[in-house]
Amino acid sequence: MNECYYDKRMDFFYNRTKTDTADEWTGPQLIGVLCFGTFFCLFIFISNSLVIAAVVKNRRFHFPFYYLLANLAAADFFAGIAYVFLMFNTGPVSKTLTVNRWFLRQGLLDTSLTASLVNLLVIAVERHMSIMRMKIHSNLTKKRVTFLIISIWAIAIFMGAVPTLGWNCLCDITVCSSLAPIYSRSYLVFWSVLNLVVFFIMVVVYIRIYMYVQRKTNVLSSHTSGSISRRRTPVKLMKTVMTVLGAFVVCWTPGLVVLLLDGLNCTDCGIQNVKRWFLLLALLNSVMNPIIYSYKDDEMWATMKRMICCSSEDKSQERRSSRIPSTVLCRSTDMSGHYIEDGIIQGTICGKGDLGDKGNS
């Protein structure tokens, strides 16, 4: 019967697998790493919070696609929490961790990755439902979207907890991996192959959907007199999703390949030399997504900018409140025409930060 090592600290496993835990990270180098990571994590928290707030605030985002996009931003926000926890429990600190604390560190990262991946899959289904009917948005009800979001996080939490639930090498240290010294190599192979296969399937699906949209849009444009913006809107949404997916695949694939090589026990692949760079690349994905949302979606950018503008000008607007009516209407542009929407935001005027600065979709 194999002996189990639940009571050991991580230095036992790191020393046995000869895993580099960056003992040289001391002094100025460690401070630099912490400052660099702190800056990016703060950006992740602030930018993704703006995306979520924009979806809640703007009534034109109250559709399944944008609810799922907000949930993807929530996954990135959660990834920021995971990176903060990792930042203060890595390097020379790694060897002092208990087994349970190390499981928590890795489980947070695995959960954030799974949440983003499953969310992208659900978005693919939502896009397929709408695009095949040549609609901008699907007919999913709010109850169904809520159920999907809850399911996404349930799956993510379960996948992040799988090693803790038993698929590890604590009772058979001969199968421990090098990068994750208490993970079984078989689990790393399963985890990396599963994610890479899902990546490939999503890329194929989105390419096929995009080709279908382009073909149908070209056909309809010569037979309909609808507005150009209405015909282009499905294409623009698809470009946004495909850009997000492309960034996700580019940022996570190298790290998954390294995990796969480690799971296959490739001792001559030099994986220890590149693991930190690929982890940083995965971190950048959560930084890039809010930038993609605001750059590819003019309405998202306008809403975010309006919130920042109104927040920073509260004091100046309060001074002018005695001369300006407290209730105003902000005029915005719809995809197929003009309409007046409620512009009351706690007695403030958002005219200067409206859609005119960026343009409408």
Q: Does any domain span residue 29?
A: yes
Per-residue pLDDT at 217: 67
Q: Does any domain span residue 334?
A: no
DSSP secondary structure of 296-331 = H-HHHHHHHHHHHHHHHTHHHHHHHTTTS-S--EEE
Phi, psi of 332 (to 5 degrees): -135, 170
Q: Does any domain span residue 270?
A: yes
User: What is the spatial distance between Cα 114 and Cα 162, in angstroms, rounded to a whole number?
Assistant: 12
Find the CATH number of the domain harbouring 209: 1.20.1070.10
Q: Which residues of the chain have pLDDT under 50?
A: 24, 227-230, 315-361
Domain range holding 280? 10-221+231-309
Report the chain's mean pLDDT, rounded to a whole number: 76
Phi, psi of 176 (to 5 degrees): -70, 145
CB 232 within 8 A of CB 216: no
Q: Does any domain span residue 277?
A: yes
Residue 257 makes CB contacts below 8 A (sequence gap 6+) with 192, 196
User: What is the spatial distance between Cα 86 and Cα 150, in angstroms, rounded to a whole number?
Assistant: 25
**Nearest in space to 320 (alpha carbons), one of 292, 297, 278, 351:** 351
Phi, psi of 333 (to 5 degrees): -110, 130
Residue 356 in tokens: 């005119």
DSSP secondary structure of 205-272 = HHHHHHHHHHHHHHHHHTT----HHHHHHHHHHHHHHHHHHHHHHHHHHHHHHHHHHHHTT-TTS-GG
pLDDT, tens digit, 9 for 90 and up, residues 309-338 = 875 555 444 444 444 443 333 333 333 333
Q: Does any domain span residue 282?
A: yes
**CB burial class (10 A; 0-12, 13-18, 19+) of residue 32?**
exposed
Torsion angle of the four alpha carbons 324, 328, 331, 332, in this order, in degrees rounded to the nearest 10: 110
Q: Does any domain span residue 250?
A: yes
pLDDT, tens digit, 9 for 90 and up, residues 7-57 = 888 888 888 776 655 554 556 666 777 787 788 889 999 999 999 999 998
User: What is the spatial distance between Cα 58 and Cα 67, in angstroms, rounded to a whole number?
Assistant: 12
User: What is the spatial distance between Cα 93 and Cα 11, in angstroms, rounded to a whole number?
Assistant: 10
**For residue 213, how far is the Cα from the chain centroid?**
25
User: What is the spatial distance between Cα 137 and Cα 65, in angstroms, rounded to a whole number?
Assistant: 7
Domain count, the chain: 1
Backbone φ/ψ region at 98: left (φ over 0), alpha (ψ -120 to 50), beta? beta
DSSP secondary structure of 327-357 = --EEEEE-SSSEEEEE--BTTB--GGGSGGG
Q: Does any domain span residue 113?
A: yes
